[in-house]
Chain A
Amino acid sequence: MFSIFNIFENYTLTIALAGAALLGSISGITGTLAMLKRQHLTVNLVSYAALPGIAIAFILTDTNSHLIFLIGAMLTGLLAIVQISPLIRKKRGHQDRILTFILSVFFSLGIVLFTFAQSKPRAAQAGIETFFFGQPSVALMSDLKIIAVIALFLSIPLLLFWKELLITAFDPVYAAASGISAIKIEAVFAAILIGNVAAGVQTIGVMLMGAMLTAPPLAARQWTNNIRILLFLSALFGMLSGIAGSALSYHIQGLPTGPAIIVCAGLITFLSFFFAPKRGLCFVYFRSKSEQASAGLEAILEVLYTLSHQHTDKDFYGHPYSVIQSIFPLKTNTYTILSELCTKGLAVQTGRNEWSITPEGKKYMEEDLRGYVK
């Protein structure tokens, strides 16, 4: 559909892709912090709160300047965070319900202000839906510059307070004990969040910006336990979905940018859920299967071992299948387990439908399962 050469030939596309990539990667990093702090609802609140800010900026200035919209978005985002900050310390259920409600109120306020703005005679052509789902990816150089400047500004507090942010996210009690001011770090995080949301509102839209901050770290989390790799992967996934989404929306007529990016991010997340090593659902499924099999192996061997104590007079006393099955009725096929034991040399088939444990098997049980078998 599109080749790498195509990107550099086409100036508009290059700009759009660069903007989306930059935005995706900073969202990945901010989102990781939000995920560690478990503040998904706050993220959503700040992004919804951008809508009335944009509307107010639009009504007051009556221009179409993106910079002014962003300032408006930041101001209402700040207002939203300040408004909920006393509630954050409350009980969790209590906090959730008020956050959800305030989120909805901010959105409605935005709608009301927009319909008000559109009823004015000199209203510009900016429709509401461009802010819901982002603009088509005919981005301008000025947009890219704005995103780049915000990214630069976000990196300063991130680098300065990196250690404090991490400690507070992982262990707030320890952070407080080591003299890190919780309010200061909350404020730094809020500033980063507000800046990031403002940068993304133009491209991804108010309704989906929250998902842009949630998806990449969630996907990255499935692949690693290391915080550095987590951040790197999260930024990478954010960047990939940004690039893929905006490229798709550029090439397919009428495809809105924001949803395209979120669908890409969502697909990456779902793929990670299923196929990530160690944590992914497929891996867990196969591991539990193989664990079940080996557990069955040891269980049957234990049965043979215990049975062999009944017949100490003879070395290879064959025990009938029905006896083994009745002592340990496994869901898995006892025949296959027995034949596997035979190939491993731990058991031996002494007759038709009769098995016995070998000296190796006894040794295995006595050495490896000393704690369990008496």
Chain B
Amino acid sequence: MINAQMEIILTVCLTAIACAIPGVFLIFRKMSAYSCDINHSVLLGIVAAFFFVQWIDSPAIVFSAGIVAIVAVLFVEKINKTRLAKKDAIAGIVHPFMLSAAVIIISMFASRVSIDIDAALLGELAFTPLNRLQIMGYNLGPMALWQIGGLALLNIIFTFIFYKELKLSIFDSGFATTAGFAPKWIIYGLMVMVSFTSVAAFEVAGSIMTAGFIIGPAVIASYFTKRFRNLFFIAPAVGVISCLLGYKSAYLFGISIAGMIMTVMGAIFFLTFLFVPGMGVVAKTINKIKLKMEFSINILLVHLWQHEILGDSARKNSVDSVSVYLNWKSDFTESIIKQSMNEQLLGLNTEGVLFLLPNGKIRAQNILER
């Protein structure tokens, strides 16, 4: 049983890696919704192939599903070119239409098409070890493992070979065209890559969660780095980490593994969004408060410096008049003054008038000279 568990973990981790790599390209190409749409259409391809090939692990099914997904995407592109409607609106009906058709076929011809809708939408990760690849009587491990492992390898190779072309096509397709890279075909290649990855991941993660597997790690990784190349290491790592955590908690509670992995990924995203250094909400808020404090101190110093030069400091530099002249609330003024005193920038004499210490004078002069 331990062996079976290891196989599941390995399969799901490979799925995460295979999905995360095209995801990075997708989110920067602004095609993230595409991953969600394609998974709606894939089911129709699988069902259609079932009518002709009654064998669930046939490569014909993978091909048929991939081709149907690509056709759906091209159809959306074609209508989008006529400018009859916005692209996401067209995708919003074409792909659900295909999903509906698939569901209708499944439920009408249930005897001929032996797919369970639940399994198709949620994935059947727990059963992957049961379906094994056997060549000449040798048991080589689960079929899904080989399938997704092969795709992960293909994706890595594709990215490695066409890294420069893909990067250029995504960030500056105009320049890519003039440099002779044919960005259109490179993007089509990317679409084919996403389609086949989706089909292979479909069996493991199910329809909707595959979209999350593709987009999620890339979105999270984009908070950690500004270098494009680093994304290809961080995104798969994020995917694998959420797979391990998700599998562990799903095992503990006895619930859907793929669902739990995506939930964990959501939690990681939420934490990242809040706490990541530099780009997280908390870091940004702290930075904002710091900047506000620093700017206010600067203003206060300049105000004091000006009036010390003019010689009316007794009237204008008292604590009360500062808050009047700078239009600050009195408690805010007090906190700024306290902070500046802590930094040895200014002092308060016996008549309640603020005066600049040498440090403060230098800083005020520096600001004015800038």
- Which A positions have Cβ atoms within 8 angstroms of B? 35, 38, 40-41, 43-44, 48, 92-93, 96-105, 107-112, 114-116, 119, 128-129, 132-133, 207-208, 210-211, 214-215, 218, 221-222, 252, 254-256, 258-260, 262-263, 265-266, 269, 273, 279, 281, 284
Contacts and interface: CB of A to CB of B under 8 A. Distances in A.
B107 A104 contact: no
B84 interface: yes
Contact of B35 (A100, A133, A256): A100
Interface stretch (B115-123, B174-182, B186-194, B318-326): B115-123
Contacts of B90: 218
B299 interface: no
15 contacts: A40-B86, A97-B26, A101-B216, A108-B266, A207-B99, A211-B93, A211-B100, A218-B85, A218-B92, A254-B108, A255-B108, A259-B104, A262-B97, A263-B100, A266-B97
B253 interface: yes
Contacts of A262: 96-97, 99-100
Contact of A116 (B26, B117, B215, B253): B253
A242 B263 CA distance: 34
B103 A100 contact: no
Determine chain A's interface SS by DSSP, over half rule.
helix
Interface of B: 26-28, 30, 32-33, 35-36, 79, 82, 84-86, 88-90, 92-94, 96-97, 99-101, 103-104, 107-108, 110, 117-118, 121-122, 208-209, 211-212, 215-216, 218-219, 250, 253-256, 258-263, 265-266, 269
Contacts of B36: 44, 100, 103-104
Contacts of A97: 26-27, 30, 32, 215, 218-219
Contact of A96 (B32, B79, B108): B32
A208 to B, nearest CB: 5
Nearest to B26: A97
A93 B30 contact: yes
B96 A207 contact: yes
B93 A258 contact: no
B212 to A, nearest CB: 3
Given A105-B263, A273-B79, A256 B219 contact: no
A279 B212 CA distance: 36
A215 to B, nearest CB: 5
A208 B256 contact: no
Contacts of A93: 27-28, 30, 32
A266 B93 contact: yes
A41 B219 contact: no
Contact of A111 (B117, B122, B218): B122
The 7 nearest A-B residue pairs measured at CB: A104-B212, A108-B262, A105-B266, A211-B96, A266-B97, A259-B100, A111-B259
B93 A98 contact: no
A210 B92 contact: yes
A269 B93 contact: yes
A284 B88 CA distance: 22
A108 B258 contact: yes
A258 B100 contact: yes
Nearest to A260: B104
B262 A105 contact: yes
A129 B255 contact: no
Nearest to A208: B96
A357 B47 CA distance: 64
Given A100-B35, A214-B92, A222 B97 contact: no
Contacts of A258: 100
